[in-house]
Structure 1
Amino acid sequence: MGVRLSPDTWSQIEADYRAGRPAKRLAKIHGVSASAIFHRSSLERWRDTPRVAAKPTQAERIEQAADRLEAILKRMSEDR
């Protein structure tokens, strides 16, 4: 069985999703699958609201850079 999130957490996910945060990033933050977020957004019609791209925070930009570096290091170690 999957992770059961509180209604408050889902409200936060919905607000962030509608603000333009990517579902994959929200899934990673909240420990739920992106498909669960897509499914819930479809059921509750979150996508009917126009999405505005949210400007990432400095912490998010650092995390994205770290993710890219990890991917590069992984590819480099696989090439050996």
Structure 2
Amino acid sequence: MGNPIKAIWEVIRNVVVHRDYSLTGKDIKVAVYDDMIEITSHGLLLPSIDYAAMESRQSDARNKVIAPVFKRLGVIDQWGTG
């Protein structure tokens, strides 16, 4: 079994990097329940991402400023490995 804390941080990093910040009033939501954590970020996949090919781990950064800054800070290590 993987490390659940590491998995939660991975999801939070992804939701911040890939959030559609043009959607006002649509904040990231985190709900903690007894048996699960639910993280919601509104928005659609980028047009460059093929939903049918998601298993190929293709990646495209929505936020061309946030993603490289997170990478330089060591918050994320590379694209498309989550």
Q: Same fold (TM over 0.5)?
A: no
TM-score normalised according to structure 1 size: 0.25
TM-score by length of 2: 0.25
The structure in which a higher percent of residues are strand is 2
* Structure with the greater alpha carbon radius of gyration: 1
